[in-house]
Structure 1
Amino acid sequence: MGVTNEDLLQMARDVMKNAYCPYSKFPVGAALLTDDDAVILGVNCENASYGGTICAERTALTSALAQGYRKFKAIAIAAELDEPCPPCGICRQFLAEFGDYKVISGSSINKEILCTSTLSILPQAFTPAMLEKHTVDSHES
C-alpha cells in the first residue's frame, strides 16, 4: 500500500515545526510525493528582504529537483489555519510546470481536507508545452 492523502498531509503538518517564519509567524509545511513514492518535505523560509521569501511548496519542489526527481503524484500543504491552505499564485505556476498532479490542502487545526489538482487551481496555466509549440511554430515559418 502506498502513501495515502492523509499520510502525506500528516507529514506536511509535522514538518511545519521546521518553518523559518519570524516575520509572519505563519508556518507552512509541504510534502511532495514523487512518481516512485519518495516523499520530499519543504517548509516556508522567510527573509528580512521579503522578496527573498520562499514558500513551502517551492522548497519541497526545488529539493526534489536537486535530488533528480521530475515527475510527481501529489503535494500536500498544511498551515495553522482552521481551513485548508491553498498554494499562493506563484506556487501554483511553479507546481504546474511539472504537470497535472494532486494538490491536497489541509489545516493543522481541524481535519478538513481539500483535494484538487495543479491545473485545476491554475486555469489556463502557462506550461512548457506552450513554449514547445512556439518553438515548433516559429521554425515552420
Structure 2
Amino acid sequence: MDDADLIDAARKAVEQSYAPYSEYYVGAAIATADGAVFSGCNIENANYSNSVHAEELALSKAVEAGHRSFDRIAVSSARRDGVTPCGMCRQSLAEFCGDDLRIICDGPDGRVEYTLGELLPETITASHLQ
C-alpha cells in the first residue's frame, strides 16, 4: 500500500467518526512493518476525557492483532486541514515506534510529512523508567 492508499484509508475512517460535540471528524490509518493496515476514527464522549482519538484506535487495533512494528501512519480530518496527532497520540505512538516513524498528514494543498521525532522530540520512553 502506498502513501496515497494509506491517506484514502484514513479518509474512509473519517466517515465513521463520531464527533457530535466538536464536529471535528478525524480518521487515521497505520501501516505495520509487514504491510497490514489498521484504521481508526475519533469517538467523542460528553465527558471529553473519555473520548478516543483516531490514531490511538488504529494503533490499539493493530497491537490487539499482535503487531508491534510500524512503518507509517496517515491522519486526515473532514476539513483536510493538515491535522497532526495530538501530544497524547504522539506519546502512544512513541511506545511502539521510533523517531523515524513517518506521519503523513492530509493537508489542504496535499500531503505533508513529518517524523515522530520531529513532532515529539525528547519523548518519554521505557528507558526513562529504569
TM-score w.r.t. structure 2 length?
Answer: 0.92
1:56 to 45, 54, 57: 54
CA drift at 1:83: 2.8
Q: Is the 8 A contact 1:32 1:75 kept in 2?
A: yes
Q: How many aligned residue pairs are there? A: 128
* TM superposition outliers: structure 1 runs of 4+ over 2 Å: 80-83
Residue 128 of structure 2: SS of its match in structure 1? Answer: helix
Alignment partner, residue 114 of structure 2: 116
Alignment partner, residue 105 of structure 1: 105
Residue 117 of structure 2: SS of its match in structure 1? Answer: coil
Determine the C-alpha separation between the residues in 1 that align with 2:128 and 2:90: 17
Q: Is the 8 A contact 1:104 1:116 kept in 2?
A: yes
Q: Aligned Cα RMSD in Å?
A: 1.2
Which amino acid is 1:18 matched to? Q
Residue segments in structure 2 that go unaligned for 5+ positions in a row:
none
CA drift at 1:82: 4.6
Alignment partner, residue 90 of structure 2: 92
CA drift at 1:129: 2.7
Q: Is the 8 A contact 1:11 1:31 kept in 2?
A: yes
Alignment partner, residue 7 of structure 2: 9
Alignment partner, residue 66 of structure 2: 68
Q: Is the 8 A contact 1:28 1:56 kept in 2?
A: yes
Tell me: CA distance 1:42–1:106, structure 2 relative to 1, closer, same or farther (3 Å): same
Alignment partner, residue 139 of structure 1: none
Determine the C-alpha separation between the residues in 2 that align with 1:96 and 1:6: 24
CA drift at 1:78: 0.1
Q: Which has the larger radius of gyration?
A: 1
CA drift at 1:81: 2.7
Q: Is the 8 A contact 1:83 1:112 kept in 2?
A: no
Determine the C-alpha separation between the residues in 2 that align with 1:7 and 1:82: 16
Alignment partner, residue 38 of structure 2: 40
